[in-house]
A and B are shown apart, each in its own frame.
Chain A
Amino acid sequence: MNAHTPPPVSAGTAPVVALRNVHKSFGPLKVLDGVSFEVARGEVTVLIGRSGSGKSTALRCIDRFETIDSGEIEVCGLRVDNPQLDLRALRLDVGIVFQSYNLFPHLTIEENITLAPHSVKKVPKREAKTLAARVLEQVGLGDKLHAYPEQLSGGQQQRAAIARSLAMQPKVMLFDEVTSALDPELTGEVLKVIEALAADGMTMVMVTHEMGFARGIADQVVFMHRGKVHEAGPADILSSPATPELAQFVGTGL
């Protein structure tokens, strides 16, 4: 039943993210059961599936927030499954945005954004501030530099979190259900920012429940079911699913 088709890979370039036969269990629960997919440079891959299908776990494994039991994960030339991996090197290449924004509440938006470039990449304070202003402009929050996170709406906080991640100039960005905590009216403003990033050629992997959005933005859709990649392919598979499970999933919109 596994109708996995390899994604289109542009000639001559290695994939930015590659999962090969990844297995992962939480105790007796098999969460990832031989997951493989690749993400080419500049492409948007959307992971969909029911709750518990393993999509969020797969995403978190890419940034080593979860360790895998077997298989290979390669990100920007780094072997993520290597226990000796320099995690900071990985996270310099990978940006991640979470469902709950996770801005640092004791810091202003500007400080949230300048913290990592300044303390990790040693960007001088002034340059980091210029950078913060630029990425905030990019997400439409140019006037919120000195606000604290709690003074912003959920949608604004999530855009600020995206800006914070962008300021590290990652090679690939991961989005873990970034609109799931937002009202429908706030979801739109966040999705617009992500669309603009995609248009700029950012390589992205995202877990989302927004099917309409997925259809519009995905270069590749990966449908996960019971810890396996059940069906994968271009966004068209959402309109004409090959497996009854995907058809049912798209049909119910869950």
Chain B
Amino acid sequence: MGGTLNLNHLLFLGHGALWTIGLSVIALIGGGAAGFLIALCRVSPSRLLRILAATYVQLIQGTPLLVIMFLSFFGLAAIGLNISPLLAAGASMTIFVAAYLGEIWRGCIEAVPKPQWEAAEGLALSRSQRMVKVILPQAIRIATPPTVGFMVQIIKNTSLASVVGFVELTRSGQIINNSLFEPFLIYSIIALVYFSLCYPLSRLSRRLERTALQKKPALA
């Protein structure tokens, strides 16, 4: 059985790779939006919001992504909610990414020096004006390198979506291997594709971190 690796197999892997990217983008957008809200809640003056957001973060960070995937796919099916692998994977990734990005971004917001808050307060800016015009622009600069770095984690973690039958890169590799029985070759190819997706992001993150430390070019 099997045969040898041919162009069709590679196309199938390419298709899987596109879904890996697609799921990563969904996770980044969904998790980013939810994570931003989490970060804002974590620094909110409301104690209730702070506690709710912190609880969410603790809960998700203390749960393996694999279990979140199982819960949203098989768990919901067991109580009669049938959702597609894409929806289950997308929702799980969003839930997972939101907890981590929320925590990373909370740190970035709090890393803006306290005197900046005071200066903005002293100028009679409202809390939302302080946030939008003074704190967030500075926090975004601080947040860019770790966020790009975290995208590497997102890409790698999408491989867990293979367990709910979502055909991304890892799952497409498994499927091909089931017919070819060339695990070393196939998983090497897959590893290489993951690496070529992640490595540029790691490099970019490191470069952003370096440039963030440098001074802005003269403009005056």
A: which residues have CB within 8 A of B? 63, 65, 87-88, 91-92, 94-96, 98, 100, 102-106, 108, 115-116, 119-120, 144, 146-148, 150-151, 161, 164-165, 168
**CB pair A104 B119 closer than 8 Å:** yes
B179 to chain A, nearest CB (A): 56
A147 to B115, CA, bound (A): 21
Residue of B116, B119, B125, B219 contacting most chain A CB atoms (<10 Å):
B119
Interface size in chain B (residues, C-beta < 8 A): 22
A75 to chain B, nearest CB (A): 13
**CB pair B137 A106 closer than 8 Å:** yes
A105 to B215, CA, bound (A): 11
- Cβ contacts A to B, 17 pairs, < 8 Å: A63-B122, A65-B121, A88-B126, A92-B124, A96-B122, A98-B119, A102-B119, A103-B119, A105-B138, A106-B137, A108-B219, A115-B133, A119-B129, A120-B126, A146-B220, A147-B220, A150-B215
A94 to B215, CA, bound (A): 33
**CB pair B123 A168 closer than 8 Å:** yes
Not counting A151-B218, A164-B123, a sample of 10 additional A-B residue pairs whose C-beta atoms are within 8 angstroms of each other reads A91-B121, A104-B120, A104-B138, A106-B137, A115-B133, A115-B134, A120-B126, A148-B216, A148-B220, A150-B216
A85 to chain B, nearest CB (A): 13
Q: At the interface, yes or no: B47 with Cβ under 8 Å from chain A?
A: no
Q: At the interface, yes or no: B110 with Cβ under 8 Å from chain A?
A: no
Residues on the B chain within 8 Å of A147, using CB: 219-220
**CB pair B123 A91 closer than 8 Å:** yes
Residues on the A chain within 8 Å of B219, using CB: 108, 146-148, 151
B: which residues have CB within 8 A of A? 115-116, 118-126, 129, 133-134, 137-138, 141, 215-216, 218-220
A141 to B198, CA, bound (A): 48
B218 to chain A, nearest CB (A): 6
A168 to B75, CA, bound (A): 59
**CB pair B138 A115 closer than 8 Å:** no
Residues on the A chain within 8 Å of B116, using CB: 102, 104
Residues on the B chain within 8 Å of A151, using CB: 218-220
Whose C-beta in chain B lies nearest to the C-beta of A161? B119
**CB pair A91 B122 closer than 8 Å:** yes
Residues on the B chain within 8 Å of A63, using CB: 122
Residues on the B chain within 8 Å of A92, using CB: 124
A88 to B123, CA, bound (A): 8
Whose C-beta in chain B lies nearest to the C-beta of A105? B138
Residues on the B chain within 8 Å of A148, using CB: 216, 219-220
A105 to B137, CA, bound (A): 10
Whose C-beta in chain B lies nearest to the C-beta of A152? B220
**CB pair A120 B124 closer than 8 Å:** yes
Whose C-beta in chain A lies nearest to the C-beta of B135? A104
**CB pair A144 B124 closer than 8 Å:** no
A103 to B122, CA, bound (A): 12
Name B118's contact: one of A65, A94, A108 (CB within 8 Å). A65
Residues on the A chain within 8 Å of B216, using CB: 148, 150
**CB pair A144 B141 closer than 8 Å:** no
Residues on the A chain within 8 Å of B218, using CB: 151
A223 to B125, CA, bound (A): 33
**CB pair A98 B125 closer than 8 Å:** no
A108 to B119, CA, bound (A): 15
Residues on the A chain within 8 Å of B115, using CB: 98, 100, 102
B76 to chain A, nearest CB (A): 44
A165 to B137, CA, bound (A): 21
